[in-house]
Chain A
Amino acid sequence: MSPSDLSLEGRKWERFTPTERFARTAIYLITAMAVIWSLRTIDIIPEFLYDAPEQTADLFKRMWPFDWAFYPAAIHSALIETFHIATLGTILAIVMALPLSFLAARNFTKNPILRWLAQFIFVSSRSVNSLIWALLFVAVFGPGALAGVFSIAVRSIGFVGKLFGEALEEARPGPIEALEATGAPRSMILAKGYWPQVEPAFWSIALLRWDINIRESAVLGLVGAGGIGVALDAALNNLYWDQVGLILAVIFTVVVITEIVTSYLRSRIL
């Protein structure tokens, strides 16, 4: 090899291959086109915008001072109901999602059609919003907390099942083979081989979903599925903005407390 080959003269250093660069440029272009298309065709009524600042000021003026007497009268019981809906919904979601996550995990299910079926259920569950699930379950069970519990549960199946299935796939085979070699029955392999490995992931997923579900269950009442959303809907329809403000403040407080509690618990688990 002659020394001239080693010289850096005339060499061009590039980070990406032409295909990579093409793909990136295409994505940038498509993004720009999507934004321009949306901006040009979106239907915005400018007449509504003229008094937006006044409307906003009016909104806050009507909210303060809060109607404190409303808390013991209606909010407290609705808040407890919201809490129950979120928690029961999460428990029910886990009960329904666990079998499906075994069906979705590569190391448990060899049949690709069954795995695909589990994935399909997960994606459907996540694609439809909790509020839309709530509409359907109100039609099935009638208005009330039962519809709320089911919409929270069905909406959460996809999240819990997908993540727990991935945790199962990541379990190390060593302890499981050791248990198999002792002739342990299938239930023991699950309880003593897999469970200790996936337990942190399980609790972490459950807590994360519970945190999300507390937020979501607060709005289910807008379509009649129980909880604090029912009180919010009534206050909005009656234009009692001082009650609306109080309900929003209560939801904010509960959500912040839940987030602090779950992030503390998760940091202890992981």
Chain B
Amino acid sequence: MTSTTQTSRPQAFPVNWPARLGWIALTLYALYAASTLDISWARLVRGIDQGATLLARMFPPNTAEDKLELIATGIFESLQIAVLATFFGILLSLPLGFAAARNLAPGWLSTAARGLIAVCRSFHPVIVSILFVKAVGFGALAGILALIVSTMGFVAKLFAEVVEELDPKPVEAVRATGASFLNVLVMAVMPQVMARFVGLTVYQFDSNLRNSTMVGIVGGGGIGAPLFTAYQRFDYDVVLTILLIIIALIMLCEFASARIRRVFQ
């Protein structure tokens, strides 16, 4: 009796073999992938040397008058792209979101709307702006259109979910008082969705601002174009100036959006 209890003493934390094998497999995969991508220690070491040179050429950031003027133009254009893409993107997302909501729209319509949203979501904004640069030419318009597409992909999807989660009771109560459709919308639907909707809008503006700094690399306007030019001319000190301004702008924007969200809580 005593000997059997000794041998079968349960372990407090038995080894989880499937999990352990999974971790080993993941490590093996990482090593295999690294070898196929030609990643080696020598390249990393050489890269660190290169990185030091790059940083040395970046400092101090270039604050020459003419460069700053150029950067200011680009930053303002990026802001304009973000504002307009968010505004029109959301304007288009509202009907699309309603059309995609399964509790309001007929089945064929919501399926079609969901398909459109999936297509909008699948392509990276840079790819979409390449197509728009071909269609409407170089400049801010291509960037705006590209970001409108990505705004629709994100906001319409989540807005449809918000509408689907709508509590029908307030809607019925307001309707029972004989209110018109518009009144039902303002008094019963808006209060339920407003906080989520403002949160979505603010989040999307943040995301559009980030992306508007990038569409210029493929000709879509904004700060990306001067950044890419400076990079190609090896003016790394200008690159650093632009990067610092972008980071400051986005931090400011994140701070502002947190405040706005609190107001509409």
* B29 on interface, CB distance cutoff 8 Å: yes
Query: In the complex the two chains form, is B140's CB within 8 Å of A44's CB?
Result: yes
CB contact under 8 A between A127 and B250, given known A219-B127, A222-B218: yes
Interface residues of B (CB under 8 A from A): 13, 26, 29-30, 33-34, 36-39, 43-44, 47, 50-51, 54, 76-77, 79-81, 83-84, 87, 118-119, 122-124, 126-127, 130-131, 134-141, 144, 210-211, 213-214, 217-218, 221, 224, 227-228, 231, 236, 239, 243, 246-247, 250-251, 254, 260, 263-264
Contact with B along A238-251 (1 / 0, CB 8 A): 00000000001001
Query: In the complex the two chains form, is B140's CB within 8 Å of A35's CB?
Result: no
Query: In the complex the two chains form, is B37's CB within 8 Å of A84's CB?
Result: yes
Q: Which residues of B contact A42 (CB under 8 A)?
A: 77, 80-81, 84, 140, 144
Within the assembled complex, what's the spacing in Å between the Cα atoms of A166 and B79? Answer: 30
CB contact under 8 A between A124 and B39, given known A24-B263, A129-B213, A136-B54: no
Beyond contacts A85-B37, A132-B217, A248-B123: 17 other A-B pairs, Cβ-Cβ < 8 A, are A37-B80, A37-B83, A38-B84, A42-B80, A42-B84, A42-B140, A43-B139, A44-B139, A48-B137, A52-B137, A88-B34, A126-B210, A139-B236, A142-B50, A251-B123, A252-B119, A252-B122
Query: In the complex the two chains form, is A38's CB within 8 Å of B79's CB?
Result: yes
Query: In the complex the two chains form, is B80's CB within 8 Å of A38's CB?
Result: yes
**Across the A-B interface, the 5 shortest Cβ-Cβ residue pairs:** A48-B137, A38-B80, A127-B250, A145-B37, A84-B33
Q: How large is the interface on A (under 10, 10 to 19, 20 to 34, 35 or more residues)?
A: 35 or more
Within the assembled complex, what's the spacing in Å between the Cα atoms of A147 and B7? Answer: 54
Interface residues of A (CB under 8 A from B): 20, 23-24, 27, 34-35, 37-39, 41-45, 48-49, 52, 55-56, 59, 80-81, 84-85, 87-88, 91, 123-124, 126-129, 131-132, 135-136, 139-142, 144-146, 149, 192, 215-216, 218-219, 222-223, 226, 232, 236, 248, 251-252, 255-256, 259
Q: Which residues of B contact A123 (CB under 8 A)?
A: 247, 250-251, 254
Residue of A44, A140, A218 touching B124 (CB-CB under 8 A): A218
Query: In the complex the two chains form, is A141's CB within 8 Å of B47's CB?
Result: yes
Q: Which residues of B contact A85 (CB under 8 A)?
A: 37
Contact residues of A: prevailing secondary structure? helix
Can you list 9 A-B contacts with CB-CB less than 8 angstroms, sorted by A residue number? A37-B80, A39-B84, A87-B29, A87-B33, A127-B247, A139-B54, A140-B47, A142-B47, A248-B127
Give the shortest distance, in Å, between B37 (CB) and chain A (any CB): 4
Query: In the complex the two chains form, is B135's CB within 8 Å of A24's CB?
Result: no
Within the assembled complex, what's the spacing in Å between the Cα atoms of A253 and B264? Answer: 39
Within the assembled complex, what's the spacing in Å between the Cα atoms of A83 and B180? Answer: 53
Q: Which residues of A contact B141 (CB under 8 A)?
A: 44-45, 48-49
Within the assembled complex, what's the spacing in Å between the Cα atoms of A241 and B80? Answer: 31
Query: In the complex the two chains form, is B250's CB within 8 Å of A45's CB?
Result: no
Give the shortest distance, in Å, between B258 (CB) and chain A (any CB): 12
List the B residue with the shortest CB-CB distance to A48.
B137
Within the assembled complex, what's the spacing in Å between the Cα atoms of A55 and B135? Answer: 5
Query: In the complex the two chains form, is B127's CB within 8 Å of A140's CB?
Result: no
Q: Which residues of A contact B213 (CB under 8 A)?
A: 129, 132
CB contact under 8 A between A144 and B38, given known A27-B263, A251-B127: yes
List the A residue with the shortest CB-CB distance to B232.
A135
Query: In the complex the two chains form, is B136's CB within 8 Å of A128's CB?
Result: no
Within the assembled complex, what's the spacing in Å between the Cα atoms of A142 and B44? Answer: 11
Give the shortest distance, in Å, between A252 (CB) and chain B (any CB): 5
Query: In the complex the two chains form, is B26's CB within 8 Å of A91's CB?
Result: yes
Query: In the complex the two chains form, is B134's CB within 8 Å of A128's CB?
Result: no
Query: In the complex the two chains form, is A236's CB within 8 Å of B43's CB?
Result: no
List the A residue with the shortest CB-CB distance to B122.
A255
Give the shortest distance, in Å, between B9 (CB) and chain A (any CB): 17
Give the shortest distance, in Å, between A22 (CB) and chain B (any CB): 10
Residue of B43, B130, B231 touching A135 (CB-CB under 8 A): B231
CB contact under 8 A between A48 and B136, given known A135-B231, A141-B50: yes
Residue of B13, B87, B136, B227 touching A55 (CB-CB under 8 A): B136
Give the shortest distance, in Å, between B36 (CB) and chain A (any CB): 6
List the B residue with the shortest CB-CB distance to A16.
B263
Q: Which residues of B contact A81 (CB under 8 A)?
A: 36-37
Within the assembled complex, what's the spacing in Å between the Cα atoms of A142 and B36? Answer: 17
